[in-house]
Structure 1
């Protein structure tokens, strides 16, 4: 043993050199073991292809470009890989999976449920919990348990994971039947519940929360079963390289709080417009907006705003009443003060055309006067707040936000600072003094919601006319919906 140690000590340099040569020889084999051809192709072409569906919770074209929870998360993953993002849109869940396994795309991301493992696909780690929720038409007897669904026209989306749940429940409730549709989305189900073609539907809770304001005739019933998991889908034939990177990315997003922040952004807002308020707004939009829609569109063309945003401002100001008058003398559809009317050249505040044109130009003037450091939606929300409370008070709130160590160019920070203008210890430090700072916060919040509803109504109307031969009127005798496959009770 002593001779062996002595030999090793005497020739240590040569053994170290030999070990280094062997290690360097093995490096290519180690690299080959961990190398993934799919990742190499993505890197060489410099883009990642996401396969998805067009829906408000997933992916859609918003005012400022592509948006949606799944899209936002996938865009961040593309950034993580150092490539750009391409999007392929399919009509249904099964088509998304087929597109991935056929090589049309790299990842399927479309609110896909993590289901029983299939040989040709791999799943990422769970991204979100998906709680199935029964919803039903307002006016029906309350739906609070599975037994209440017996005999009802119940609709679901095919391949959403909910069908598997219902088939399990059907073993204990053999009288349970339902309808499955592959070509519809959540909003389509809610529309059919509201207009009477369905009595009830099962969707995921976060999907209903996002859409509920647009369908005030739909009630939430009860959670159905245990939550499922949302995941991304990969082609199993491409190895696990991309899947492994996606899981590392999702771990990082969860650890850094980014995943929670994205969920809060898309699904976590309060329902401050209650069903009654949303229903009233939709009714008035259908009854009164058409009288002024062309005026809003013309003002939008002249000032560069979305006409639906201007219409939302008009509703918040006067409920589209051209003769509205406040106790303080503010008048007209856009509720202009006398000084403001003179500033924008309005001679008759009660003339709807002048009021809408003047209000739009006044809002544009505010927007243009804001500091260049305020960008994007933050700039728009602050301009709206200043339309309500005045530019001076908005600047005071920005100073308070900066004083509190917050970025004054972000609306979220200014929104927190505005109510402080009602408190003496704060407004005494400002240039313009006291203001009812809580009002512009509510003002902007409501306009954003009104705008969302109008934008949804416009988009759904376009899609509806593409999907249907004609609009379906609400009736007790609607024809059978041809989009559904019927799953009969097993009695």
Structure 2
């Protein structure tokens, strides 16, 4: 009778039950945990970059709600916070097999497998006395872990808080024999670990999704699913995938080894010049250096049969336009290259954002701004977005086809060349950024231990 009378009092006072989304709205922000790792959510100078970071920003805009992000290195903590209701949702950035969570529609797909030295695949050595396998995500990957635990000599090792790059380093140091990860994680790091390779397990491709507490009532999940469906249909997810994984798809092992040698032997000679002239133009010197490597392999006396010369492979016309007299002089070449790429960026339509703006400018450096504009018009005519590099690069090769070039303003061009040109520079640029990170006033993420107690719990009934 006491319980019944108490319920009656609550009803009389007009108590109103609120669903998960309503509780978030009354709080005024969405609380999210995300794995802190390169390519996922990572500090780069004074800002954070990564696929999941960009995805969170897009969700914030689409939901029209502030999102507070807490970075997590130990995935046990991420799942623990999710289970306790301390966060509304989580982005582990890893694929998910079997675990007690609710998952959104996938925003990416990946294979799962083992990263190991190229010269030592454990699968080819069944008689090894012991096999030490590092784990990145013991819960999300627990179904796959069972496949590698069968040999009695195998041992899976989970060292809480290790990011993927640390695990790959331990394999190189032979402290681990292999690491169980998603191919997606390896693609983000493979240019730094050219002596390692990924071998997929015999499992279907796996989804990567936004994760929710199993007691989530579906109100937030529905909103996230609708947003992800919109992002997929608009091509936004494809564009983001290209931004972070495009250079991985172009990875060339032999060319990467050559680049590594030249990065050590040649780049230091011109480092101060790249920094000086890039700073004058408001450019990232590492991008300028990557472009110079693509142009000349950092050889100041480089010459081409077509008449271009020097570190930045400057034409005579460009040299006159940029006001230099000696294209083989490193100072003058870098100065001209920096000024010219800035000029080309300024010619790109103002409403095209970064990083596409830079990719269009680089393509123009290679094939000419007029030809790039022709390709943009072809792209638009064929129903794709002329302001997105991922779309335009599909149609640039058409400039060499007689079905297209007679109807363009600037005529025939070897349109496939700027596609490869930009892809290579992106790859070299990403590698130089890892070697020379911008550490001044580096941003620090909010970490899970800073989560205020007042926000727990966020689920009704907890």
TM-score, normalized by length of structure 1? Answer: 0.76
1:445 Cα deviation after fit: 1.3
Range moving further from structure 2, 253-262 or 88-97: 253-262
1:109 Cα deviation after fit: 1.4
1:254 Cα deviation after fit: 8.8
| 43, 53, 56: which one aligns with 2:35 | 53
| 53, 60, 69: which one aligns with 2:51 | 69
Residue 344, structure 1, aligned to residue 322, structure 2? yes
| 263, 274, 281: which one aligns with 1:285 | 263
Range moving further from structure 2, 322-331 or 50-59: 50-59
| 112, 125, 129: which one aligns with 1:132 | 112
In 1: Cα distance, 2:75 partner to 2:229 partner:
27
1:300 Cα deviation after fit: 1.6
Range moving further from structure 2, 263-272 or 277-286: 263-272
Which structure 2 residue ranges, 5 or more long, are not aligned?
1-10, 445-462
1:431 Cα deviation after fit: 3.0
Q: 2:25 aligns to what?
A: 43
Q: Deviations over 1:212-252 (max 9, x none)?
A: 22211102234166766545444567x52555435643774
In 1: Cα distance, 2:384 partner to 2:28 partner:
37
Q: 1:83 aligns to what?
A: 65
In 1: Cα distance, 2:225 partner to 2:379 partner:
36
Matches within 5 A, 1:204-243: 204-223=182-201, 230-235=208-213, 240-242=217-219
Q: Secondary structure at the match of 1:133?
A: strand
Q: Deviations over 1:386-426 (max 9, x none)?
A: 11112232233333334444443332343233222222342
Q: 1:93 aligns to what?
A: 75
CA contact (8 A) 1:155 1:198 kept: yes
In 1: Cα distance, 2:438 partner to 2:358 partner:
25
Which one scores higher on RCO, CA 8 angstroms, separation ≥ 6?
2
CA contact (8 A) 2:45 2:438 kept: no
CA contact (8 A) 1:143 1:221 kept: no
Residue 377, structure 1, aligned to residue 355, structure 2? yes
Q: Across the two proteins, how many residue pairs are aligned to each other? A: 428
In 2: Cα distance, 1:393 partner to 1:40 partner:
52
Q: 2:334 aligns to what?
A: 356
In 1: Cα distance, 2:46 partner to 2:394 partner:
25
C-alpha RMSD of the superposition: 3.5
1:365 Cα deviation after fit: 1.1
Which structure 1 residue ranges, 5 or more long, are not aligned?
1-25, 467-491
In 1: Cα distance, 2:90 partner to 2:48 partner:
17
**Considering only CA atoms, is the larger Rg found in Structure 1 or Structure 2?**
1
1:360 Cα deviation after fit: 0.4
In 2: Cα distance, 1:105 partner to 1:404 partner:
44
In 1: Cα distance, 2:111 partner to 2:398 partner:
39
Residue 144, structure 1, aligned to residue 151, structure 2? no
Q: 1:18 aligns to what?
A: none
The 1:137/1:413 distance shift into structure 2, 3 A limit, reads closer
| 379, 385, 404: which one aligns with 1:401 | 379
TM-score, normalized by length of structure 2? Answer: 0.80
CA contact (8 A) 1:77 1:249 kept: no
| 94, 102, 107: which one aligns with 1:123 | 102
The 1:335/1:173 distance shift into structure 2, 3 A limit, reads same
Q: Deviations over 1:51-105 (max 9, x none)?
A: 1122134223469954433334444444443312221112211222344456653
The 1:453/1:268 distance shift into structure 2, 3 A limit, reads closer
